Structure 1
Amino acid sequence: MHLPAALINSLQNAKGFSKEAFEQEHALSGRITSIRTNPFKWLQSSPPLTTYHLPLPVHPLPVSSPIPWCAAGHYLSARPSFTHDPLFHAGCYYVQEASSMFVEQIIKAVYPDHATTKYKVLDLCAAPGGKTTHLSALFPESLIVANEVIKPRAGILTENMVKWGKGNVVVTSNDAADFKALQGYFDMIVADAPCSGSGMFRKDPDAIEEWSLQNVQLCSKRQQRIIHDSWPALKENGIFIYATCSYSMEEDEAILDWIAEAFEVETIPVPGATGWGVVETVSDQKHMYGYRFYPDKIKGEGFFIACMRKKEAVGEQIPKPKKLIIASKQEQKAIAPFLTDPEQFELVRSNDEIKVLKKCDMEDLALLFSALYIKKLGIKAGRVMRDELIPAHDLALSTIVTLNLEAIDADSETALDYLRKKDIPAGNAARGWNVVRFMGCNLGWIKVLSNRVNNYYPSPFRILKH
């Protein structure tokens, strides 16, 4: 791999940079693969990762070691065919770069009560969903707004949130400036900003051809605009996390100095980070703490992350909430048997579909609905026709669907046929709606009729590879 000379020269003064080790590591072949399990689906009763067998080829999921800074993170010793793993499609784990999982250490440092207290968190540049799923797991009682301005990427983000299954994520597709309407609303903003991508050269060698010093400067300006436009939405004493997958100081330490110059902030160091080979750096002008991840020092790709607290006084100014339309009594009656605890939810009509929202989130969700372009809100239950629910795929993969459903327990071959949207045998299944399960995890719906079985797996999600 031939690295740009301009990049190497620009990093000579970067904290922790070693030219020889850096170039040697990039000359090695092979990719590091890591996953993070879904705590809402891969439960204590689930089989250990080391004993779980992928269907094609049949061998244990190649787990080699845990990721030290992420409790649910695991390195794999080889890259399997995730496409042919039903549990991947069930949302039981998320394939994510290990360095990015370090956000967990920051969350634990600044919010010791993250698992039990409700916070409002904005993941500003969220696609494809790695940090959003991680935030959803770390803040199970909170409301996570996952935003992606690029429409196709917002679609991918939505699909991944459907697989993840947790109803505490709202997917939006807005420009950063749109969040000014929610002044002082969020407790935390995470901005994994678009960058020049030098930290991902090992994973994506084609990115080398697109890299240039000019692009670094363009990205730096874009990062400043995103931060400037979204900053009003963060409340006083709120937490701002900034990250890139770039090594360039213009996109990392220099951005921290720019933030400290433009706003009143308090830099927050992360205890214990250097014990894992992570390099702690301090910006030249404002002495802001940041953390550099070099592949010759840690097991992962290039990454930069920093955390700070907003110290400016800010008043909360938010728009009038938009009234949500509550589902009819007949619709509620049709949907209630599909839910684990119907009493804690409100059923809301959106066009001809019903969505399931937590009652304790209704005020916030109505507000977000009035201020932003929403791609996903709550859990889509489906449509009610003639007092019968035509269940949505989202409901099957959600964590709110009841376990007391008629179900087909599929082996790996049957599960893959289902995921390819092929016909599968019904066996002794009861007529009507059945959920297809693999190793106890839901994959989607079928409807068993007298003479056939209808496969309701969404066509856009189906497996095309054989």
Structure 2
Amino acid sequence: MNLPIEFEKKMKAFLGNEWEEFLYSYDNNRFQALRFNTLKVGKNKSVEEEIAGIMDKLGIPMDKKVTWANDAYYYDEKKRPGKHPYHEMGLYYIQEPSAMSAAALLAPKPGMRVLDLCAAPGGKSTQLATYLGDSGLLVSNEINTQRSRILSQNIERMGIKNAVVTNEDSFALAAHFPNFFHAIQVDAPCSGEGMFRKLPEAVNEWSPQNVEICAARQKEILDNAAVMLKPGGVIVYSTCTFSREENEDVIEYFLNEHPDFTVVKMERFWPHKQDGEGHFVAKLVRRGELLLEETVSTQDRTGSIAEDTLEKRKSSGKKDNKKSKKSGGKENMELLNEFLDAILTDDMAEWIRNGKLVMFGDQLYRLPDIDVDLKGLKIQRAGLHIGEFKKNRFEPSHSLALALKKSEAENTVELTCDDPQTNGFFNGLSIMLTQEQADKCKKGWVLVCVDGYPAGWGKVNGTQVKNHYPKGLRNKI
């Protein structure tokens, strides 16, 4: 690989006698890893048993773990687990192994308010969600609009119920959320020196000037993160670059500017020392006592849908505006209850009913159970997307399907990953039922499951299940 001359000079001076070993690492193959999603895996058996069964079906041995992350394993890139139905159902997330170190260092506890400030494409957010479980609040932010959509899609795929995806800069969030979060992840935009093997274009974009620009931006982002952190809270700062200017120097600047913080751990992951592309992580703790608030009471919310209170996307056209005015009416609640009572178990139906339900146009969302003021923010996803109200009917969302467990649905169809109809389902084809299967299914909405894991919605009519897998996600397998 032809590295920038200025980069080589800098790294030779920085690494000394390790330079040759570091340079040699660029001639090796990249390391590939996947991290299991314990929001889905480990609900029927132990996590270890379920992972072993999934890995066996993927044809991937479990002989090499990513030692610094939970439930993460290396794999040979020839296996292509990203093309398997299990990936589409969110059973695991494919992630650069050393990048898993940052969320593992933050390791938030259930019930916390957590911010992932620079979150796209979602690796760290989806990892943080496994620590929170279904409790607390995860705000995943990405300033780039297109990347925030990708982030939102990954939050959906992994079945995360308690996440809000925002599309803001750090200044706007700091003004909106002063002294609010218990834990903040700052995976800062950087010069990407650790991405040279993965993205050759990163080599061409690198320059000493870009390093300086990145360092200045990183300091601003960290300053804004400090505004949002509660006393006793934790910030984990990370980059995928080797530059001292963007790593140790940024931390030194931050500690000088914020004397109420201490650094409790700083670590570098090098491609010639660890099996990964490289990462820098630092854990910063604010002095004070960290208090976790109780989740808000939902007793006064039962059976109601709030008016449009948040700004997601501007409604366009008279038709949309008319529908927005009707949101929260008895008609919509009746349609929702009809679906919940017919398709979901009582406990899951009550969890949805008892949540804070809000509308964006015709779209229904359930906000996380921790109160969070989102007015005035650009929102890509406000908690769990439940579904859409159409003329005289309610249509459940793909997000809801992937957030469910099979046991939480009353009407299900079971496929296996080896069944030819499974690939057909992910590509938009209808499912043909045996008479025995048809006899067990009620007419109407049905949760299609593969090997016991929800994959999406269908609609039963006799011995046929009409496909409702989202068109934009088809043809990926």
When normalised by structure 1's length, the TM-score is 0.83
1:176, distance to aligned residue in structure 2 (A): 0.9
Whether contact under 8 Å (1:62, 1:77) holds in the other structure is: no
SS in 2 for 1:121: strand
Whole-angstrom CA distance in 2 between matches of 1:160 and 1:176 = 21
Q: Residue 274 of structure 1 corresponds to which residue in structure 2?
A: none
What letter corresponds to residue 471 of structure 2 in structure 1?
A: S
Whether contact under 8 Å (1:174, 1:373) holds in the other structure is: yes
Q: Which of 235, 258, 271 is equivalent to 2:253? A: 258
- Size of the aligned set, in residue pairs, is 423
Q: Residue 187 of structure 1 corresponds to which residue in structure 2?
A: 182
1:101, distance to aligned residue in structure 2 (A): 1.5
Whole-angstrom CA distance in 1 between matches of 2:233 and 2:126 = 21
Q: Residue 318 of structure 2 corresponds to which residue in structure 1?
A: none
Q: Residue 249 of structure 1 corresponds to which residue in structure 2?
A: 244
Whether contact under 8 Å (2:409, 2:447) holds in the other structure is: no
Q: Residue 281 of structure 2 corresponds to which residue in structure 1?
A: 305
Whole-angstrom CA distance in 1 between matches of 2:348 and 2:410 = 14
Q: Residue 355 of structure 1 corresponds to which residue in structure 2?
A: 365
Q: Which of 135, 138, 143 is equivalent to 2:131? A: 138
Whole-angstrom CA distance in 2 between matches of 1:293 and 1:208 = 20
1:452, distance to aligned residue in structure 2 (A): 5.2
1:164, distance to aligned residue in structure 2 (A): 0.9
1:100, distance to aligned residue in structure 2 (A): 1.6
Q: Cα deviations across residues 265-290 of structure 1 (Å, max 9, x unaligned)? A: 433334xxxxxxxxxxxxxxxxxxx2
Q: Residue 74 of structure 1 corresponds to which residue in structure 2?
A: 73
Whole-angstrom CA distance in 2 between matches of 1:267 and 1:16 = 29
Whole-angstrom CA distance in 2 between matches of 1:226 and 1:104 = 18
Whether contact under 8 Å (1:126, 1:157) holds in the other structure is: yes
Whole-angstrom CA distance in 1 between matches of 2:283 and 2:336 = 44
Q: 1:97 to 1:262 in 2, by over 3 A?
A: same
Q: Residue 330 of structure 1 corresponds to which residue in structure 2?
A: 334
Q: Cα deviations across residues 61-112 of structure 1 (Å, max 9, x unaligned)? A: 344411111121111134422343111000001111111221354235xx6x
| Pairing 1:164–2:155 present | no
| Pairing 1:4–2:35 present | no
Q: 1:464 to 1:239 in 2, by over 3 A?
A: closer
Whole-angstrom CA distance in 1 between matches of 2:93 and 2:127 = 9
1:190, distance to aligned residue in structure 2 (A): 1.0
Q: 1:441 to 1:312 in 2, by over 3 A?
A: closer
What letter corresponds to residue 39 of structure 2 in structure 1?
A: F
Whether contact under 8 Å (1:196, 1:216) holds in the other structure is: yes
What letter corresponds to residue 383 of structure 2 in structure 1?
A: G
Q: Residue 418 of structure 1 corresponds to which residue in structure 2?
A: 425
Whether contact under 8 Å (1:54, 1:85) holds in the other structure is: no
| Pairing 1:295–2:271 present | yes
Q: Residue 319 of structure 1 corresponds to which residue in structure 2?
A: none
Q: 1:303 to 1:27 in 2, by over 3 A?
A: same
Q: Which of 373, 380, 389 is equivalent to 2:378? A: 373
Whole-angstrom CA distance in 1 between matches of 2:163 and 2:274 = 31
Whether contact under 8 Å (1:123, 1:190) holds in the other structure is: yes
What letter corresponds to residue 336 of structure 1 in structure 2?
A: L
Q: Residue 175 of structure 1 corresponds to which residue in structure 2?
A: 169
Whether contact under 8 Å (1:240, 1:307) holds in the other structure is: yes
Whole-angstrom CA distance in 1 between matches of 2:77 and 2:422 = 23
SS in 1 for 2:355: strand
1:145, distance to aligned residue in structure 2 (A): 0.2
Give 1:426-441 correspondences, 5 Å limit. 426-427=433-434, 428-429=437-438, 430=441, 431-441=443-453
Q: Residue 281 of structure 1 corresponds to which residue in structure 2?
A: none
SS in 1 for 2:399: helix
Q: 1:202 to 1:63 in 2, by over 3 A?
A: farther
Whole-angstrom CA distance in 2 between matches of 1:307 and 1:39 = 24
| Pairing 1:445–2:457 present | yes
Q: Which of 96, 113, 125 is equivalent to 1:120? A: 113
Q: Residue 300 of structure 2 corresponds to which residue in structure 1?
A: none
Whole-angstrom CA distance in 1 between matches of 2:17 and 2:284 = 24
Q: 1:51 to 1:348 in 2, by over 3 A?
A: closer
Whole-angstrom CA distance in 2 between matches of 1:453 and 1:342 = 23
1:295, distance to aligned residue in structure 2 (A): 1.0
Q: Which of 375, 396, 400 is equivalent to 1:395? A: 400
Whole-angstrom CA distance in 1 between matches of 2:179 and 2:22 = 42
Whether contact under 8 Å (2:182, 2:230) holds in the other structure is: yes
Whole-angstrom CA distance in 2 between matches of 1:386 and 1:343 = 24
SS in 2 for 1:36: strand
When normalised by structure 2's length, the TM-score is 0.81
Q: Cα deviations across residues 248-281 of structure 1 (Å, max 9, x unaligned)? A: 11111111111122222433334xxxxxxxxxxx
What letter corresponds to residue 416 of structure 2 in structure 1?
A: D
Whole-angstrom CA distance in 1 between matches of 2:24 and 2:388 = 57
Give 1:23-62 correspondences, 5 Å limit. 23-28=23-28, 30-43=29-42, 45=45, 48-52=50-54, 60-62=59-61
What letter corresponds to residue 458 of structure 1 in structure 2?
A: P
Q: Select between 376-385 and 143-152 the one with higher mean Cα deviation.
A: 376-385
SS in 1 for 2:431: coil
Q: 1:248 to 1:346 in 2, by over 3 A?
A: same
Structure 2 residue runs without a partner (length 5+)? 290-307, 311-326
Whole-angstrom CA distance in 2 between matches of 1:403 and 1:199 = 43
Q: 1:186 to 1:147 in 2, by over 3 A?
A: same
